[in-house]
Structure 1
Amino acid sequence: MKRTPWIKRKGMDLMTFHFCFFLLVLITGSSHGLEIISAGPSTVEKASGDSVKLDCQFTLAPEDSGSLDIEWSLQPSDTQDEEKVVILYSGDRAYENYYAPLKDRVHFNSMDPKNGDASINLLSLKSADTGTYQCKVKKVPGIRSRKVILRVMVAPSKPRCYSEGATQVGKDVVLRCESTEGTSPISYTWQRDNKLLPASAVLDPVGGTINIRNASEGSSGTYRCVAKNRVGEQDCVYELNVIPPPNTAGIVAAAVICVLLALIIIAIILFCCCRARHRKKYEKEISYEIREDVPPPKSRVSTARSFTSVGSQRSSLGSMSPSNLHEYTKPQYDKIPSDEFERPPSHAPLPPPGKPVGPNLSRMGAIPVMIPAQNRDGSIV
């Protein structure tokens, strides 16, 4: 019996609250008239190349009797710059090519925006389309607006995987992953196919590196890096092969052997050159000695000397008396010198005076001349 009045009193309070709320909404709607009722997100993120719808729904009141104007504009990042009209609806007509960078890429979502849908569609988004877009609806006496932030993000480009430094046992191996394009923030993750990452591996998700300290042959394998942001991801694969350090002693020994071989080859070349030089010098000296033993060539000087000797002999004969001339024949003095006079003189000793020239001297080119003997007083015998 005591609970019934309390329930009735609670029900009366709820009815009063709903009535007051309805009255408030009615008064507010009648006072404002035009209202934008979009409930979509105020910030939209899309990938480059995608399309997006910027929502702007509105309602009109009976007292809104003026002409309907809808305007979408791109707000400047600097307060000193002017806003740029992107698309316009006025006088029951749409004007879509106001903004050159969005030409043919922006359209109203509805064929007849005056029915309460002022939303627009942006096609083939680019990173330059990022900005704050404002929807403004005017119908006298009301005017309302709504802002939507659009972020056009670029998915990461295919990263490049590579290693830094020597990939040897006992060394710190650093694997790096890098995307040249993409909207920040980009996160990088590393994986190893069919195996866990080495226990000594240290990851850097921002820089895209993995540092494998004191690497061993067990650290080898196929590593995969994934570059990811809010609109996309790409990956790359790197085959890591950790090898033992090189044999330093063997390298030194090989270097020493190569140096010794080079020195031996140089010594052989120098020896051959010196030997060839001495041989050439010896042959040159032998050729000089052979030329000294060869008789001198025929010349006019020897011929002239032969004629001179003949003339002297004739002059000596001319001094003899006519009584002795009958012993000599004339053809011997009229003989013309021939090639026999050009032969080199012999080193044989001259015959004693008064004796005829022997046959050997005649063969050697001497002229047979009979030298008359003289007595002590100078007369011819």
Structure 2
Amino acid sequence: MELSIARVCSVLLSLFTGLVSGLEITSTAPTSLEKASGQSVKLDCQFSLASEDSGPLDIEWSLSSSDNQKEDKVVIFYSGDRAYVDYYPPMKGRVHFNAADPKNGDASINLMGLQSSDSGTYQCKVKKAPGIRSRKMLLIVMVKPSKPRCYAEGPTQEGKDIVLRCLSNEGTSPLEYIWKKTSGNKLLPASAGFDSLGGTVNVRNASASASGTYSCTVSNRVGSEECILHLNVTPPPNTAGIIAGAIIAVLLILLIIAIILFCCCRARHRKKYEKEICNEIREDVPPPKSRVSTARSFTVGSQRSSLGSMSPSNLHEYALKPQYDKIPSSEEYERPPSHAPLPPPTTAKVAGPNLSRMGGIPVMIPAQNRDGSIV
């Protein structure tokens, strides 16, 4: 009996509450939305009023904080027949009410230029005393993949392993990569291993048939981008020819260096030899003629003065003097050593007493040097 009375009381209470508050949220739009960055989104919040809801109308949109310890952030609100649209600085100029006058039952808002930081749970709260209703929606802002970069890693030669890589720097995970060959038989090489999450194609023991044009498409739930790669698999290089060419080049360089060093040494030796020849003093160079003429004039005068003091008896002794007491002429100086005149035959000297006995007068002749000067 008591249980039935309690049930009746609860039903009456619910009916009384419904009669007192006629405010209801009538939106049927999805409560979870996924949008790409840069796009716009409408957060729907439709409501209806009853005659009993006679208080002032207040509409508040808030962004729930991921940290339960922090308060929710009010984005935009309507109160006293006035809309406050620039209340939240990060969304300033990007959020506004969908209707010019929200009190007619449309509390929806439009959010433009979406950013990844706009992701979160939004709550629409409508208050008109005595009624209060709210609605929550989850908004996920996804970043579209950026244009990927395609490139080949490793030597693109026959018989080598080649890795084709595709990389997108931006984009909300999960990202999916798809490689295709757009030229030739349009089939990936049979030895290729494909990784759709990492965006790589590993071509083992590549052959010339792997050459061609490839495309890589990266995508997620909000968009896709593509890049093109031109692959050219070349034959392996002629290693023996390269080595032979390198050896010949080295030998030519060494030969050129040796020739340069030889020329430098020869030029240096020739310069040194010419310098020694210039500094050499030759012994067969005759003295200057002016000195010879001066010596001749001096000695001739001396001889004349000596002859003037001699008597006729002394002339014979003077004539018998050796030839080295005479001053050689310039012709004798210029004559080569091989044509030098032989010395005159020696004659016996006459002693002083014998010269007096023969009637001669001894005369002293001053001593002279080889060049004719008197000592």
Q: Do both share a fold (TM > 0.5)?
A: yes
Q: 4+ residue runs of structure 1 moved beyond 6 angstroms?
A: 25-28, 296-299, 320-324, 357-360, 362-365
**Structure 2 residue aligned with 1:347:** none
Checking the alignment, whether the CA contact within 8 Å between 1:73 and 1:84 is kept in structure 2 is yes
Q: What is the TM-score normalised by the length of structure 1?
A: 0.73
Q: Measured at CA, do residues 49 and 354 of structure 1 come closer, stay the same or move farther in structure 2, by a change above 3 Å?
A: closer
Q: Measured at CA, do residues 90 and 291 of structure 1 come closer, stay the same or move farther in structure 2, by a change above 3 Å?
A: farther
Q: Does 1:156 align with 2:145?
A: yes
**Percent sequence identity over aligned pairs:** 63
What are the superposed Cα offsets for residues 67-96 of structure 1, whole Å, 9 maximum, x if unpaired? 110001111121122222111111111111
What are the superposed Cα offsets for residues 98-152 of structure 1, whole Å, 9 maximum, x if unpaired? 0112111111011111111100001122222222211111111121111122222
Checking the alignment, whether the CA contact within 8 Å between 2:191 and 2:204 is kept in structure 1 is yes
**Structure 1 residue aligned with 2:160:** 171
Checking the alignment, whether the CA contact within 8 Å between 1:374 and 1:380 is kept in structure 2 is no
Q: Does 1:232 align with 2:199?
A: no
Offset at residue 259 of structure 1 (A): 2.1
User: Counterpart amino acid of 2:192?
Assistant: A
**Structure 2 residue aligned with 1:124:** 113
Offset at residue 28 of structure 1 (A): 7.5
Checking the alignment, whether the CA contact within 8 Å between 2:35 and 2:142 is kept in structure 1 is yes
Checking the alignment, whether the CA contact within 8 Å between 1:169 and 1:216 is kept in structure 2 is yes
Q: Does 1:222 align with 2:213?
A: yes
Count of residues in Structure 1 that have an aligned counterpart in Structure 2: 323
User: Counterpart amino acid of 1:361?
Assistant: S
**Structure 1 residue aligned with 2:50:** 61
Q: What is the TM-score normalised by the length of structure 2?
A: 0.74
Checking the alignment, whether the CA contact within 8 Å between 1:216 and 1:242 is kept in structure 2 is yes
Q: After the TM superposition, which of the residue ranges 279-288 and 230-239 deviates more from structure 2? A: 279-288
Q: Measured at CA, do residues 360 and 290 of structure 1 come closer, stay the same or move farther in structure 2, by a change above 3 Å?
A: closer
Checking the alignment, whether the CA contact within 8 Å between 2:21 and 2:52 is kept in structure 1 is no
Unaligned residue ranges in structure 1 (runs of 5+): 1-22, 328-349, 366-372
Structure 1 Cα separation of the partners of residues 319 and 241 of structure 2: 92
Please, what is the CA RMSD of the aligned residues? 3.9
Q: Measured at CA, do residues 220 and 278 of structure 1 come closer, stay the same or move farther in structure 2, by a change above 3 Å?
A: same
Offset at residue 30 of structure 1 (A): 3.0
What are the superposed Cα offsets for residues 290-318 of structure 1, whole Å, 9 maximum, x if unpaired? 7665456799xx79x969x969x97x969
What are the superposed Cα offsets for residues 15-50 of structure 1, whole Å, 9 maximum, x if unpaired? xxxxxxxx9x98774365222121111121111221
**Structure 2 residue aligned with 1:380:** 363
Q: Does 1:180 align with 2:169?
A: yes
Checking the alignment, whether the CA contact within 8 Å between 1:87 and 1:99 is kept in structure 2 is yes
Q: Measured at CA, do residues 79 and 265 of structure 1 come closer, stay the same or move farther in structure 2, by a change above 3 Å?
A: same
Unaligned residue ranges in structure 2 (runs of 5+): 1-11, 334-349, 365-375
